[in-house]
Structures are given as C-alpha cells and as structure tokens.
Amino acid sequence: MNYISTRGQVAPIGFIDAVLMGLADDGGLLVPEQMPRLPQEQLSSWQRLSYPELALEVFSLFVGDEIPRGDLKKLVDDSYSTFRHEEVTPVRRIRDDLHVLELFHGPTFAFKDVALQFLGNLYAYISAKTDSIIHILGATSGDTGASAIEGVRGKEGIRICILHPNGKVSKVQELQMTTVDDANVLNLAVEGTFDDCQRIIKEIFAEVEFKHKYHLRAINSINIARILAQTVYYFYAYFRLAEQGHAGKVNFSVPTGNFGDIFAGYLAQKMGLPVGKLILATNENNILERFVKEGVYQPGEFRSTYSPSMDIQVASNFERYLYYLYGEDTAVVNSMMAAFKKEGRIVIPQDKLNLVQADFAAYGVQNDECLDAIAKYHEESKYLLDPHTACGIAAADALASEGQVTVTLSTAHPAKFDEAIQLRSIKQTFPDPIQALFDKPQFHTVVEGSNEAVKARLEKFF
C-alpha cells in the first residue's frame, strides 16, 4: 500500500516512510492511495476474531508486504498485551440503545494508548530493521505525552523528549509523565502555556538542519499509523453488538478534539463497516459542531473546559476529511487550505454540506451539561464517566432517535480527571497503578519557554 499527500505534492511512498514522514513534506497529510473496501464475506469472517487478531487483519491491509506477517503479528501482540483487560477494548452496555466502548485499559488510562503502544513498538522495529536512530520530540497538554512516553520507555534505538506546560496539566497526567526514570526519556516542564510548547516544537521541526542532525520524529495524531490503529476498535465494537443480536447499522458518538479518533471511524465506514451516524461531540470549543451544522469552519475564541484534551480550535486531521469530501481532489484541497491560511475560514457549498450531514451529526456540550451527565449516569446507572466521555454521552442523548443504537467511545478513565469529578461531590477510588504514582519521585527539568533553552537541553540529551 502506498501513501500520498492530501496536497498532492509528494510522490507515493510506502507505509514505513509514511510513518517516518509524519506531516507530509508539502505541508499536507498522508492518506492511503486507495482505501481498501471489504466485501461482506470478509467482514463476516472477522466477526469472531480477538482484538489482536482483528488488528493484525486491519493492519495487513494498510502495511502491504513491507513488514512480514510474522513480524507484524509480534508487533500487534506486544502492543496489546500491556492492556489490563483481556478484551483490550471491551464494550459495556448501559441501556439497550446506549453502549460504551472502553478505550482506557492501556498503561496510561487514556485511549491514546491504543495507537501509541503500537507506534512505539513500530518505531523500535523500524529502528532495528533500518539501523537508524529515532529521536521523538513532542508537546502535550497531558494525555499524548504520557501515552507516548509509555509507548517507548526503555526501548532501544529511541529517545523521547516531551514538553509540557509547567504546572498546567492534571496532577495524574503530570505524575504519569514525570515518574518515569528510564534513561531514554526527557521531560521538559516549560514555563509557559501549551501553545508555547506547541510553537517551540513547530519552530524546531522547521529548522531542517537541526531536525536532520538529531533525527527528529513526531508522535502527534497527524501520523497515519495512529489513525489506522484507531479504525480497529470500530470494527471490534460493531461485532460485539452483532453478537448480542443487533442487526444493522450502529451510531458512534466520539468525544472530539483534533478529529483523529472520529476520522478513524469515517475510514472504517469507507472500508464497508455498517456505521449509521458518526456523532461528533465537542465541548465549548465547538468549531467542528459549527462546521457540521452550518458548513463554516472557522476557529473561534479558546475556552478552558473540564475536558482539556478537547480544548482545540484548529483540528489537525480535518484536512484528511476535506480530501475525501472533495472526491480525493488534491488540487481543490491545496487551494482550500491556502485560502484558509489567508482568510482564516473555510465555507463549503450546500451540496457538500448535505454530504457532511449524511455522515455526521454534531453537538457541542456546555460545561454544566458535561458535569450533569457525569452526575446523572453515576446515579442512575452506577457508571462513572470521565468529562470527555461525558461529552460523548451527552451528545448521544441529545441527538439519538428512537430505535437506534449508539456506541459512545470512552476516551479516558475518570481517575485521570478527578478535579472535575469532585465538583459534583463524587468520590472515586483510584486504580492501584494510579494511586501508586503519588509515592514515586518525579523527574523533570524546568526550562524557560524559548527555542534556545529547549534546543540546548535537546543537544545535551540526544
């Protein structure tokens, strides 16, 4: 399988090169040259596969023969053996019409482990196979950093440096990152905001000489391997409902920030999975809700909410969707993105909006509504939601119609966001691995929020 850029200026490359490239060299995003389309018989034959077996089949379609099947199987098995639940991503029934796909059973209790456990192993495999050094540099507002560090800690051939805003991530997120003492991990606590971290990273990646000298690689969700890994659980959830006798299409409600997770669902549908509506749940940062309802994509004012991993104004994966919305026409995507850069907004015509609304419905959840959903489900269903998942559930409740079944993706364990849960006076017991973090020593270096200060640290570390 080859990969091309949404902007059409990169010659087709194989899977491994696509993973290493991250952002496409022309500024676009990499997508498969052809989407595999599964015949019904093949879909049925996957029905009884375990999670790792299913992941192997899905990855095989996208990797092609670049990684021998035995090696790919080992990569997949290693990646999902670290999950605490034997089903990896189990589906919990809340009501007949509402199910929760629990994606938080990985090492850092957030859904990002599903993709980053695999990407970490894949980077180690590529490093060994091609005898190359891989230095990962990333910025995080919390979940990505912890998950990426867990994905590569102690692995040969890889070093990782993660920037986080000093004192501005949740306590559990901070501890998850900074209690790791492997020699290949460097945590930089930057004096500044997440935006400062992001800007520093972006500018360092733009210094081509520095980037090549230190073999810098990215881990954010623009990496195509992350998206592909996330398609797997849509299939898995669909099969679990089918097992319970549900025939027909299933809606998925997805707590959305950078549009990566829900875009994976869109790809699963393109591959032939019977998906009903993809419900795009946002918090008060609702640029994507406005896009689905009005056809206008325009960043608004940034709001801090109880679901910080969804506090995003410019969704980095959105360009991938535009590419498919416009019939895989890279010239159109190119000019739309250029216009977006100049004018700060994208407006699509009514015929395109009809297509968007055929696949997606959207709902922006207000802060109070999010906490209400947590309290309601805790009381009525004895099920504790984290604030991100609560946005997904609130959106599903707001949009669901009679007779339809919705699976809400649960993107984090409530223990990660206890600060919000406490606001409704709910007491939770932390799982042992999280409780244990509070007694461990922390390892991080506080740095000034400037490119020079960060680069000086990197030069010493790499």
Instruction: Kindly state the smallest distance separating residue 181's Cβ from ligand PLP, in Å.
Output: 24
Nearer Cβ to ligand PLP (177/412): 412
Reduced to 3 DSSP states, what percent helix, strand and coil does the chain have, rounded to the nearest 5? 50, 15, 35
From residue 137 to residue 156, what is the string marking binding to ligand PLP with x (rule CB under 6 A)? ------x-------------
**Helix H or strand E encompassing 220:** none
Q: Please tell me the distance from the alpha carbon of residue 346 to that of residue 340, in angstroms, as a whole number.
A: 6
Instruction: Kindly state the smallest distance separating residue 277's Cβ from ligand PLP, in Å.
Output: 17
Instruction: Kindly state the smallest distance separating residue 325's Cβ from ligand PLP, in Å.
Output: 17
**Which residues are CB-neighbours of 26 under 8 A, at least 6 positions away?**
5, 7, 8, 9, 10
Is 112 annotated as catalytic? yes
Query: Is 258 a residue that touches ligand PLP (CB under 6 A)?
Result: yes
Taking only Cα atoms into account, the Rg of the chain, rounded to an integer number of angstroms, comes to 21
**Helix H or strand E encompassing 31:** strand 30-32
Q: Please tell me the distance from the alpha carbon of residue 110 to that of residue 149, in angstroms, as a whole number.
A: 13
Query: Is 309 a residue that touches ligand PLP (CB under 6 A)?
Result: yes
CB 5 within 8 A of CB 224: no
Query: Which positions from 384 through 443 interact with ligand PLP, judged by CB under 6 A?
Result: 388, 411-412
Query: Is 106 a residue that touches ligand PLP (CB under 6 A)?
Result: no
Alpha helices per DSSP H over 160-259: 171-178, 194-206, 208-213, 224-243
From residue 323 to residue 362, what is the string marking binding to ligand PLP with x (rule CB under 6 A)? ----------------------------------------
Query: Is 83 a residue that touches ligand PLP (CB under 6 A)?
Result: no
DSSP string across 100-166? EEE---STTSBTHHHHHHHHHHHHHHHHHHHT--EEEEEE-SSHHHHHHHHHHTT-TTEEEEEEEET
Query: Is 260 a residue that touches ligand PLP (CB under 6 A)?
Result: yes
Q: Please tell me the distance from the alpha carbon of residue 315 to that of residue 227, in angstroms, as a whole number.
A: 14
Q: Please tell me the distance from the alpha carbon of residue 391 to that of residue 367, in angstroms, as a whole number.
A: 9
Q: For strands 98-102 and 91-95, give the pairing.
A: antiparallel
Instruction: Kindly state the smallest distance separating residue 247's Cβ from ligand PLP, in Å.
Output: 29
Instruction: Kindly state the smallest distance separating residue 103's Cβ from ligand PLP, in Å.
Output: 9
Nearer Cβ to ligand PLP (269/334): 269
Nearer Cβ to ligand PLP (134/227): 227
Instruction: Kindly state the smallest distance separating residue 15's Cβ from ligand PLP, in Å.
Output: 21
Instruction: Kindly state the smallest distance separating residue 140's Cβ from ligand PLP, in Å.
Output: 10
Nearer Cβ to ligand PLP (386/397): 386
Query: Which positions from 212 through 231 interact with ligand PLP, judged by CB under 6 A?
Result: 221
Query: Is 159 a residue that touches ligand PLP (CB under 6 A)?
Result: no
Q: Please tell me the distance from the alpha carbon of residue 200 to that of residue 206, in angstroms, as a whole number.
A: 10
Stretch of residues binding ligand PLP (CB under 6 A), selected from 6-14, 122-130, 256-264, 366-374: 256-264
The single residue among 106, 107, 138, 255 that binds ligand PLP, judged by CB under 6 A, is 255
Q: Please tell me the distance from the alpha carbon of residue 301 to that of residue 370, in angstroms, as a whole number.
A: 19
Q: Total number of residues binding ligand PLP (CB under 6 A)?
A: 16
Q: Please tell me the distance from the alpha carbon of residue 122 to that of residue 358, in angstroms, as a whole number.
A: 36
Active site positions, annotated: 112
Chain residues in the site for ligand PLP (CB under 6 A): 110, 112, 143, 221, 255-261, 309-310, 388, 411-412
